[in-house]
Structure 1
């Protein structure tokens, strides 16, 4: 898109999306449940090898993993409370988003009832209720064995890139005439790869698969160790926006901007690729 098609008087509405497992919580909720109360870690790891080899889809192995749970829905959360670790900076970051009216949403390949109950447990139901969760569902929570209800027909069961783009379209329709959405995505792993390409500003947890993917494909991103790092960078973006007079350039088209267009429109906020060497990255 040429500069003449851009509106220099537009301002940005910052909308934040985050993965859940490995991002907001340092462990994976599904792994904690099935390792302790389902098929066990050894069998789960065999399923993951089948996915990595390409012999089965993420959706296929997840069906096996979840169906190994034959406990009532609420029975596993005492183990979750003892095992899970909430990112040390998350609550402060979420409070910051609320104070500044930055919508905060979770996009996950997990099961929404599990994620919701976990947030209720760690944040309290009132605070957790302010977070929108876009994830797969669970058929008749409380029934056994557990059976996922997938959001779509993709191999992953939830096309996160589609969810990000649908959210962008919705945000565009709801923005004030002088606003356009700036989509921020925060993630860590394999299930975030597609969504990573759709964000305007991307944060990847340092040393994990999403960062490795960004390095391999030359995708601009900012590494983070905790949500305190993310908060600091979002503050910079917001403060710079407030200092600018007349707003910043942005797209007026409804189509999702290409990476090149994003770079042209928001050059100040696309971090240079991390200098972390690939050899330092963990599986």
Structure 2
């Protein structure tokens, strides 16, 4: 498949032009393994920190529940001893971007679809990577919801500044719910944007379960988990697949307002929130929701508090 640089300009204009639908949409996307095929942290740790062998041991400690993601991540980032610029040079040569991401991002811009990165990584690294691979102007339109970091000039200290004070450090579900709360306050007519999440790993589940539509990279852990637990999702190989599906979904969802039903791949619980979250509907929705329920989850799978807690621990850098 040709890259964006090899596609004639006339075709690019056609592929990124406005859809012609009224549906408001917002995209949240993972970064490592989703926009880029590799993991930024892994490249740095392997080359300048704890090394691949120790990293694999630490990853296993997270998966087994022996240690929290936050605890292990602090050890991984703390193992680095490299100036930021030198580390970035390794990322430039070691990262490969999804071949269709740039065109997809242009499509989002032309359709007024906010595109947000939501990551457990470090924001300064992710911003610098995006600035390099898609240009500073395009990068500036992408909000990055990730952890800040303190990195000294010599690179002897790399310390995450966590977004949330829990064992995840950055709870992606909480970040999406922060957006939902803001959308609820701003909505006057009940038109809450359709929330799309794009990911690749099981660590994306906390955010994915909050979305109306989930895209899981084909053949990787998130798709495998969705299949095993009968979670509604749409597979993708590149962002071109996501773009085609969003156009279809937006048109079907437009018809929903005329009483013609919802796309079959909608997360029913998230859609309940979306339909009920206008200012006028909040009292009704509150009456339908248990008082102690902190977040909305996929009803088919995350039905027990114990199960939800266990899945929250399965994360990667």
Structure 2, unaligned runs of 5 or more: 1-21, 262-274, 286-294, 300-317
SS of the residue corresponding to residue 139 of structure 1 reads strand
SS of the residue corresponding to residue 88 of structure 1 reads coil
CA deviations over 1:63-82 (Å, ceiling 9, x no partner): 11101111122221111111
SS of the residue corresponding to residue 86 of structure 2 reads helix
Distance 2:197 2:65 in 1: 27
Over the residues paired in the alignment, what is the CA RMSD in angstroms? 2.2
Partner of 1:17: 28
CA contact (8 A) 2:173 2:210 kept: yes
Distance 2:255 2:233 in 1: 23
Measured after TM superposition, the shift of residue 209 of structure 1 is: 1.4
CA distance 1:178–1:152, change in 2 (3 Å) = closer
* Counterpart selection for 2:149 from 111, 118, 138: 138
Measured after TM superposition, the shift of residue 242 of structure 1 is: 4.9
CA contact (8 A) 1:172 1:181 kept: no
Measured after TM superposition, the shift of residue 259 of structure 1 is: 4.9
Partner of 1:196: 208
Q: Which has the higher contact order (CA 8 A, sep 6+)?
A: 1
CA distance 1:123–1:185, change in 2 (3 Å) = same
Distance 2:33 2:117 in 1: 12
SS of the residue corresponding to residue 147 of structure 1 reads strand
Partner of 1:63: 74
Measured after TM superposition, the shift of residue 140 of structure 1 is: 4.4
Distance 2:181 2:259 in 1: 21
SS of the residue corresponding to residue 134 of structure 1 reads strand
CA contact (8 A) 2:117 2:145 kept: yes
Distance 1:243 1:27 in 2: 38
TM norm structure 1: 0.82
CA contact (8 A) 1:12 1:248 kept: no
1:87 maps to 2:93:
no
TM norm structure 2: 0.74
Structure 1, unaligned runs of 5 or more: 1-10, 261-283
Measured after TM superposition, the shift of residue 59 of structure 1 is: 1.0
**Aligned residues, how many?**
251
Divergent runs of 4+, >4 A: 241-249, 254-260
Q: 1:65-214 alignment to 2 at 5 Å?
A: 65-140=76-151, 142=153, 144-175=156-187, 177=189, 179-214=191-226
1:39 maps to 2:32:
no
